Amino acid sequence: MALNTPRMETPLMTTTCLVARNPTAVKSQILTTFSAALGELLLLAEGGTRPRCLEIAVWKAVFALGRAVLSCLLGLRCLRSTEEELRHRGLSIEDVRLRTDKDYWAQQSTTFGKVSFPLFAYREVLMGAFVTKVPARREVLPLCPRVRSSELLLERECWLAKEFPFRRAEEALSFLSHGEVRLEDTTIRAHMRAVGSIIERRWLYRPVAEIKELLSQRATRDQETGRPIVYLSTDAHTERLYVDDTWDAAWKCANGIRLWIVDRRTSAIVHVGGEFTWGDCHEVGTIIDELIEMCVLPREGDYGDGVLSTLVVITDGMPWIEDHVLSRLSWALPVLDLYHALEKLGDFSTTRFPRAKAKASAWYQRLAVLLVPRRGSGARGRKPRLGHTKRRREQPSQQRAPRTGVGCGFTLLGSLYDEAVPKRVGAAFDKLLNYFEHNAYRMDYARYDARGFQLGSGAMESMHRSGGQLRLKIPGGRWLRSTSQAIFNLRMLDLAGQWTAFWEQPDLHQLLAHGLNTDATPKDAAP
């Protein structure tokens, strides 16, 4: 049996019905239309139509009903807007001539498809000339003429654009709406850029009250002070950007900042906030200053109401971090990411013993064990293999305790100073020493472990993936700076749990109008 999808055209709201303020008549018209469509659906079911086709037919009917109802509601909203303006002027509907001809109807793309409705413009005589005014364009459709999408459709576009390539977002929007909503990928991209540009920094972090609650109820505690622990890290990752408005592209670094806590019951990472910037180290320092002013990173870790936190800054040891981040956070405890410290040792071991893998491994293990904190008593032994009876020769334990009163970093430095290395690796060895000399005070891993601190910046590395790489590092992807920044902002907005709050703010239409009016097709040069 052929599937005849029931059609419900948007009911034409007559001027008489609306001017008489008789929503009951509109309601009756919609019910009559839906009743007819329901009758057609019942006929399809009685005729043996397959369940899949029935479900599609119901969706078509639902979308058509949605367009009909939304058309009526928007028309009534336009009428009320006209009435309000006339009332402020001491006039009424009867004092003017309403215009409901085709030239004064609006068409808007919504999540139900395209909807048409009258704007209820009015005409009056001023200084001997006829003047037509349309209050609804300002009150009901503030985003026109820059955009024809409703706010809800804009939200759907942005959500899809932050997750998928723009062409895929276009296809997904059409697929999920059963073909009722169709937008070009270039339109979705333009809307996403405009919305991403108006997201302020405060939306990329949880509200201070929520942070305070997380610290009180879920965060792990500093075993030395009993305070909840907040972690901060900053690191850069690369994306491909257009260069000087040409088709050439180059890898550029985007600096990421993340705050998180660790759930003391599940050990899960709880994202507190974060962002990406194409700015340099000075820009990162400025962001830290703003987070302090916003009380996302309050001075001395005091969030108020008796909630005092321990701030732990875990980074990779780059020199600029000390100058532009740690210098602004004097109350923070700096920690060099243990992975980066071990990586430096591993890289040098292969440089020193390029053709002797066993010697390189032994050299690395001998020094790396000075950094890895002991857990419990003695070194962890390997589990014996089942059925293995051959006796192993006892090996001396490589586990060493740090020197009394000296951190792991200084212990490692002392051992490195005693090393004799060939001249061919002298420059590399000096570079290794310089790295640890600048970061030794941040490498007291035994004490950090005893206090319950994380020793690695894995949370920061994972944000690189979720915050940008999953979306931006696609095959052939090359970005304008503003487009990639908009994607960063939207993804971080969602990661911070602020997506719904952002789209429900009362003055959103004003912000969107500003963003859409200022987001002209740019000549964005990569940094």
Phi and psi torsions of 253, nearest 5°: -95, 130
Task: pLDDT tens for the chain, 527 residues: list them.
Answer: 344 544 444 444 444 444 445 667 777 777 887 888 888 889 999 988 899 999 999 999 999 889 988 988 898 899 889 999 999 988 888 888 888 888 889 999 999 999 999 888 998 877 667 888 999 888 888 887 778 899 999 999 999 999 999 999 999 999 999 999 999 999 999 999 999 999 999 999 999 999 999 999 999 999 999 999 999 999 999 999 998 767 788 999 999 999 999 999 999 999 999 999 999 999 999 999 999 999 999 999 999 999 999 999 999 988 899 999 999 999 999 999 999 999 999 999 999 999 899 999 999 999 999 988 765 433 334 444 444 444 444 443 333 333 333 578 899 999 999 998 899 999 999 999 999 999 999 999 999 999 999 999 999 999 999 999 999 999 888 899 999 999 999 999 999 999 999 999 988 888 888 777 766 544 443 33
First to last CA, the chain: 61
> What pLDDT, on the 0 to 100 scale, is given for residue 395?
40
CA distances to 222, 223, 259, 441 from 309, rounded to whole Å, are 9, 12, 13, 21
Greatest CA separation for the chain: 112
Bridging pattern class, strands 229-242 and 310-315 = parallel
The Cα–Cα gap between 77 and 232 comes to: 48
Q: How far apart are CA 24 and CA 37, in angstroms?
A: 20
Does the pTM of the predicted model rise above 0.75? Answer: yes
- pLDDT at position 6 is 47
Which tokens sit at 65? 């009903």
Length of the chain: 527
For residue 145, is the peptide bond before it cis, meaning its omega torsion is within 30 degrees of 0? yes
pLDDT score, position 375: 53
Q: Rg of the chain's alpha carbons, rounded to an integer?
A: 32
CA distance 339 to 335: 11
Query: Residue 458 corresponds to which tokens in the numbers above?
Result: 């894995």
What values do phi and psi take at 230, rounded to 5? -110, 135
CA torsion 408-456-231-275 (nearest 10°) is 140
Identify the helix (H) or strand (E) that includes residue 82.
helix 51-88
Residue 21 is predicted with a pLDDT of 52
Position 398 scores a pLDDT of 38
Helix axes 151-163, 508-518, angle to 10 degrees: 60
Judge whether 150 and 74 are in contact, CB under 8 Å. no
Confidence at residue 286, expressed as pLDDT on a 0 to 100 scale: 97
DSSP state of 99: E
- Single-letter amino acid code for the residue at 449: D
Beta strands in 65-104 (DSSP E): 97-99
For 383, residues 6+ apart whose C-beta sits below 8 A from its C-beta are none
Every domain of the chain and the residues it spans: 1-141, 201-337+456-518
Task: Please name which of 457, 489, 419 lies closest in space to residue 341, comparing C-alpha atoms.
Answer: 457
- Token digits of residue 325: 């981040």
Half-sphere exposure of 299 (CA within 13 A, CB side): 4
